[in-house]
A and B are shown apart, each in its own frame.
Chain A
């Protein structure tokens, strides 16, 4: 399978170098890595068992899960970086929508690569705007995010024109050798670029967040900004930087939607994925691998429901199938949310004393 490492995978091995300092909830279990490996092995076994039973359908459902998860994971990473640095980003939905729009616009006028760049830059620009609102203007962060979402919906609808088509298509990347492996080869190693990049980005973000100086500083700024400030971390600068870069992730989610999974832009094409990403962020306890796992789980339920309906095994109205991930979010949060702890400073503007 695709390594959705649940469990406490986020904490690095025994007494991780930084993990425990700010995160009382997750004492580094010595068995953490072993447990993660076991879970991955179990999931992989299940996937191959299903593959042996019905190869075509297994591949279809798992492929759907990965495509479904990609924009959600990207959106959630955007929220994750923000909240880890103490800024709640509820404007992810707007960032995705605006990036999908500019990406599509540039792809239809200049070319698909320009579209991707434009989308990422749009996401970053809106991220910078959020930082400006939250850090400098000290607007309530939830309101600031709402403003981004509402403006993006308004502006993209206002400038929307029907009948544009994009120039070129996203290529499919095949990793030589690895793509020959049954099931995994097609699922993980034969994908269009953004899907592929997303998997790498999740791993990279995990390493950056828990193994580097930047990660330690970011988490410090999100948990206890005044302490971070005391030891010489520039809270304002780091928050600006992180929220801006994080916007690029939402931007990628946007161009994934308008250029990779489809080749079109429509009004409100983001369809609430930014909000779903937020729910995943909480479900995944602000940890990249857990968030990824949660997103894949969502994709899996949706894909399975779709497939069952397609095969006419389940006879439920389509509306109920499409609402499944949203209803699931509520159920999953109701079961888990009580036990999560967000970064302590998320949502609070920081004033130097």
Chain B
């Protein structure tokens, strides 16, 4: 047992270290100094309250999109649409934040968060319904919805909801009452995200609903035979997944950016996949995983200007880490560990079928 535990811990840690090593090689190949890059990483992500606050800020949506992907994977669904759901949540939360007036502070912010979550849940639930009733694979539908959502949000933020005199699609600033405050210079949104991840953990690992969800994820036919409504679980899991991603977008709008901009979310949704795998599909482990990637993202300006390294090196490192986490065989070969009895490989998705 202790051996199992130590491997579950060792594999991700070594994957991360190897990812850093590959990053260093790339930086050397570019003729830059990896030591300076590491220094820039430290000063950009951890050195001082500002830097650490930035890391927490970057980690916040990642905890949520990571949890979003995890909820899906636990139910046997691969939600690649967290990106779009996050954007949708970000836009509608920002809209609610600037348009609706007359609500007292905390209530306005809470309502705007809920709106963001809801508008994240909406497209995801649509993908769930299509899967449950028409057998449309969620990978395809959520990817298509990503593009559709980007187009719609660009239109909304670029035409009817556009801030006056803005040069590109963006909404006006949200009202003060909708803003999520910082406490002691540190973002409150991060606490919300951690709370959400812990709630998801509790739901999945400690409740009957969670048991149903995991049963559908491990064998949908058996689940059906046991009397679980696979369709309801599919739609519900997708909706929850989208809600979390939308919440991530809402916190981004209300706590960090202060408005909606069409390109402000980068690849947050896709990073959720990396986090889900790095955390080996555990919502609790998503928190440290998100902190790591958040730190890498927080340091990208420092990387660019202090170490003159293209910040895209972070994406390459993430891909390497993802590969190693998904193929424990490789890390074991490097570490000369014996395989666990079940192989330990992540086999998550169910192919196109059913």
A residues neighboring B (CB under 8 Å): 83, 88, 90, 133, 137-144, 146-147, 150-151, 153-155, 157-158, 160, 272, 275-276, 278-279, 282, 317, 319-320, 322-323, 326-327, 329-330, 333-335, 337-338, 340, 342, 344, 346-348
Contacts and interface: CB of A to CB of B under 8 A. Distances in A.
B144 interface: yes
A282 B137 contact: yes
B150 to A, nearest CB: 8
Contacts of B273: 146, 150
Given A275-B144, A278-B140, A347-B351, A147 B26 contact: no
B326 A147 contact: yes
B353 A333 contact: no
Given A140-B345, A330-B144, A337-B137, A154 B155 contact: no
B141 interface: yes
A276 B144 CA distance: 8
A138 B15 CA distance: 18
18 contacts: A137-B330, A138-B329, A141-B351, A142-B139, A143-B348, A147-B322, A150-B315, A150-B319, A151-B319, A154-B314, A158-B315, A272-B143, A320-B155, A323-B150, A333-B141, A337-B136, A342-B351, A346-B353
Interface string B141-176: 101111110111011001100000000000000000
B312 A158 contact: yes
Given A319-B151, A319-B155, A337-B137, A142 B349 contact: yes
Contacts of A137: 327, 329-330
Contacts of A337: 134-137
Contacts of A154: 312-319
B260 to A, nearest CB: 15
Given A158-B313, A272-B147, A337-B136, A143 B330 contact: no
Interface residues of B, number: 54
Q: Which 10 A-B pairs have the closest CB atoms?
A: A347-B351, A154-B315, A323-B151, A151-B319, A158-B312, A157-B312, A154-B316, A319-B151, A342-B352, A319-B155
Nearest to A90: B139
Given A157-B315, A337-B137, A150 B348 contact: no
B327 A139 contact: yes
A334 B130 CA distance: 6
A113 to B, nearest CB: 27
A323 B346 contact: no
Nearest to B159: A317
* Residue of B143, B144, B312, B323 contacting most chain A CB atoms (<10 Å): B144
A209 B351 CA distance: 22
Nearest to B276: A143
Contacts of B155: 317, 319-320
A320 B147 CA distance: 11
A88 B351 contact: yes
Contact of B274 (A150, A326, A330): A150
